[in-house]
Amino acid sequence: MIRETFGEGLEGAVEEAVRKAIEQFASMGAEVQEISCPRFRYGLPTYYIIAPSEASANLARYDGVKYGLRTEEADNLMSMYTQTRAQGFGAEVKRRIMVGTYVLSAGYYDAYYLKAQKVRTLIKQDFERAFEQVDVLVCPTAPNTAFKAGERTEDPISMYLTDLMTIPVNLAGLPALSVPCGFDAQGMPIGLQLIGNVLQEEQLLQVAYAYEQATEWHKQMAAIE
């Protein structure tokens, strides 16, 4: 289990369900160890530099020329580009393109993008050290359960925090899965995240399968009113 994922901001019901799942693994013969990934918490800021950087480059292709939307209002090429993109992209996509373009720009590249790439390596090293001691890492998939529609749309940071536990895995390129491990008081599902070493999908699925077969959570189906 990753110590750093059981800190502040974790909903009580999620913590309880995940700790019970860990007890379940122990009762099945797993040797449970608490592991520290001290750089885990830098995953979120690192991701929000690297991902928008790549997005700003990848999304440059939507210029109204090759495919997709093209504005009909423009009277010259530059205004066609800018108006097509202004009309075609939503607010979050624009935010990430702007962040990405900013952190890649001359003068800021070293301070942000290059630094983020270095931190990415440190996060990967945390995982490498962890996998010298254990086969599979376990933590909550998210710090909370599903929230109400509209609750976090005005506050991008609170929305980004939902991915706190999943992002470091992408930065390190590792396999991971979420498997149902309980419900909160409102009846909303809780997920258990299992993280494996590079290319250990077979082992990861085996561990998840053994847990699933020992529990009943996956048998419950949503009753849609």
Partner 1 sequence: MGSIRELNQQLLTKERSAVEIAQAAIDRIQALEPKLHSFLCVTAERAIEQARQVDAQIAAGEAIGLLAGIPIGIKDNLCTKGVPTTCASKILQNFVPPYESTVTQKLKVAGAVMVGKTNLDEFAMGSSTENSAFQTTANPWDLTRIPGGSSGGSAAAVAADECAIALGSDTGGSIRLPASFCGVVGMKPTYGLVSRYGLVAYASSLDQIGPFARSVEDAAILLGAIAGHDPKDSTSLKVEIPDYAANLKPELKPGLARWRDSRNLWRRLGGCG
7-36 residues near partner 1, rule: CB under 8 A = 25, 28-30
List the end-to-end C-alpha distance of the chain, in Å, as a whole number: 37
For partner 1, give the closer residue by CB, 76 or 213. 213
**Can you read off the two tokens belonging to residue 30?**
């797993």
**Can you read off the two tokens belonging to residue 196?**
């494996």
**Minimum distance from residue 150 beta carbon to partner 1 (Å):** 7
Q: Distance (Å, rounded) from C-alpha 116 to C-alpha 42?
A: 9
For partner 1, give the closer residue by CB, 137 or 207. 207
Interactions with partner 1, residue window 91-110 (CB under 8 A): 91-93, 96
How many of the chain's residues bind partner 1 (CB under 8 A)?
A: 96
Judge whether 76 and 127 are in contact, CB under 8 Å. no
Is 174 near partner 1 (CB under 8 A)?
yes
> Packing angle between helix 201-214 and helix 12-27, nearest 10 degrees?
100
Is 60 near partner 1 (CB under 8 A)?
no
**Minimum distance from residue 195 beta carbon to partner 1 (Å):** 10
- Cα–Cα distances in Å, from 28 out to 130, 170, 213, 215, 218? 21, 29, 11, 12, 18
Is 62 near partner 1 (CB under 8 A)?
yes
Is 188 near partner 1 (CB under 8 A)?
yes
Phi and psi torsions of 136, nearest 5°:
-135, 140
Binding string to partner 1 for residues 134 to 163, with x set by CB under 8 A, is what?
Answer: -xx----xx--xxxxxx-xx-----xx-xx
